[in-house]
Amino acid sequence: MSIVVVGTVGYDTIETQSNRAVEALGGSATYFSLAARFFAPVSIVAAVGTDFKPDHRELFAERNIDLRGLESREGLTFRWHGRYHEDMNRRDTLNLALNVFADFVPKLLPDQRRADFLFLANISPQLQAAVLDQMANPKIVAADTMNHWIETSRPELIKLLDRIDILTLNDEEARMLSGESNLVKAGRAILRMGPKTALVKRGEYGVLQFSQEGLFAVPAYPLEEVHDPTGAGDTFAGAFMGYIARNGRLTERARRTAVVYGSVMASYVVERFSVQRILELTWDDVESRYRAFLELTDSHHPRWTSP
């Protein structure tokens, strides 16, 4: 079943303690769609400028990602410039230029309006609500948010939460939104605001999934080196939603499996700058690390319990 994702497609300049990437392909919808397409068809709704490279448009098309909703507008494409600290869980935004995305008002195509699965990436709650208003009868709606929207558009965000099924946010944002310093209390408080599922991303410490059925905690896949954490959260969300769309239902079993696939895909994307690593992946790579993840976290895995 197909997924519609509404977010940004743009160019990132990324600085770490050891390296730098300039004008690399990025944006929330980019990372999301490149991960989700392993599991289900994806349709992007975003805006790019006349400077968006044809090779990058082709990159999506080669992976069967629907680009009919990728609007080309006069002007420059979205840009983000960030610098990571030695602790890569922390970063500073040095520059953010919305450019053609600043006044972009998404208009869904008729078949996109009928889609069963919708992901509202990290855009304003007002824009997220405007997109949701266009949907006919989606089975599952997920949304991302950030501290900026929690601080500046809290009433609109709270109103949106009552209309969605899944909310993804990081640990700092969960505390800010809920007013709770303890993450378990924060997750449960967010569920009371409306979503059926809250996914709290904790960087190298993994993910906490909250639902009415209970709490599910997954560690991050251990890596010797992390080159670029940019897009890890959007990649996680893409794989999570992709698996849910393939499964067709938001059961607790599906959610938990989707969290593991999301963690697997996020562990791959941080191994290189930008989307380089995820472009190289095959389904065999994904399944191989998924099995390794299960072996890593399951004390009753057959490898350790068989005679």
Output the domain CATH number for residue 135: 3.40.1190.20
Residue scoring higher pLDDT (22 or 90): 22
Please report, for residues 17, 81, 198, 245, the alpha-carbon distance to residue 227 in angstroms, rounded to integers and kept in the order given.
9, 16, 28, 30
Quick one: pLDDT band at residue 32, thresholds 50, 70, 90? very high
Residue 123's domain spans which residues? 3-305
Average pLDDT along the chain:
94
Residues 6+ apart with CB under 8 A from 283: 38
Burial 276-306, CB ≥16 within 10 A → b, else e: ebbeebeeebbeebbeebeeeeeeeeeeeee
Per the structure, how many domains does the chain have? 1
Q: Which residues pair with 15 in a beta bridge?
A: 20, 83
Predicted local distance difference test score (pLDDT) of residue 306: 57
Q: What is the dihedral of CA 157, 130, 139, 284, to 10 degrees?
A: -80
Instruction: Tell me which residue has tokens 């640990």.
Output: 171
Per-residue model confidence as pLDDT tens digits over 116-150: 999 999 999 999 999 999 999 999 999 999 888 99
Task: Determine the Cα–Cα distance for residues 60 and 303; give it in Å rounded to an integer.
Answer: 39
Average pLDDT of the residues in 213-239: 93
φ, ψ of residue 255 in degrees (nearest 5): -60, -45
Quick one: pLDDT band at residue 106, thresholds 50, 70, 90? very high
pLDDT value at 307 more than 70: no
How many beta carbons lie within 10 A of that of residue 224, not counting itself? 5
Sheet holding 20-26, edge to edge: 20-26, 10-15, 78-84, 91-97
Per-residue model confidence as pLDDT tens digits over 45-95: 999 999 999 999 999 999 999 999 999 999 999 999 999 998 887 888 899
CA 232 distance to own-chain centroid: 7
C-beta separation of 245 from 1 below 8 A? yes
C-beta separation of 200 from 207 below 8 A? yes
Quick one: pLDDT band at residue 1, thresholds 50, 70, 90? low
